[in-house]
Amino acid sequence: MSEAFPVVTLARHGETAWSLSGQHTGLTDLPLTDRGVANARALGERLRGISVAKVFTSPLQRAHKTAELAGFGAAAEVDRDLVEWDYGKYEGLTTPEIRVGRPGWELFHDGCPGGETLEQVSVRADRVIARVRAVKGNVLIFSSGHFLRVFAARWLGTDPAVIGHYIILGTASVSELGYDRDWTKPVVRLWNETRHAV
């Protein structure tokens, strides 16, 4: 993998009360927990010294505050396409709670009633990818777990329904996307690094 090609660093927001409990947190604008604040600062240490041409963040406070605590708040541009999946009627519910009424439910296959479909989230991800690929240089993105999983699948040109539910992201995690010696070969360089987290 050549360093001549730009790197897109993905940072998932720090812990919230609902990420801790496993509740689906789409557009509910929750603050970080104390641990989430500590891990956002630790994320800043992990990202210290990286060179980026652009920083983008979801407008939701869990992502925007993570960017700020990590030291990138002043540079971060808010991008509404980076918000988390809209879970509709499943907002605030855990997967086991959803499966009581809908056995076998899988987000990446079944979507959410009253919320977004996978196709709609993928369209948002594709718009962000187009903006990122227009940047001359490295990019840093702060967003949420399910959206970033869709983003990574679309970066690779694959169907998120095929791989989205196989890849996970911890809170305050770092991942990297890039290219393998050729602009036509997008790759995952690093995924779900959380060693810096406490």
Residues that are catalytic? 13, 84
160 token code pair: 């998120």
Phi, psi of 182 (to 5 degrees): -160, 135
Cβ neighbours of residue 58 closer than 8 Å, sequence gap 6 or more: 13, 64, 78, 79, 80, 82, 83, 84, 142, 143, 144, 147
Alpha carbon distance 74, 55 (integer Å): 9
Judge whether 174 and 154 are in contact, CB under 8 Å. Answer: no
Name the residue with tokens 């505050």.
65
- DSSP labels, 22-45: T---SS--PPBPHHHHHHHHHHHH
Alpha-carbon distances of 187 from 3, 48, 102, 106, 127, rounded to whole Å: 13, 23, 35, 26, 18
The two tokens of residue 33 are 């927990």
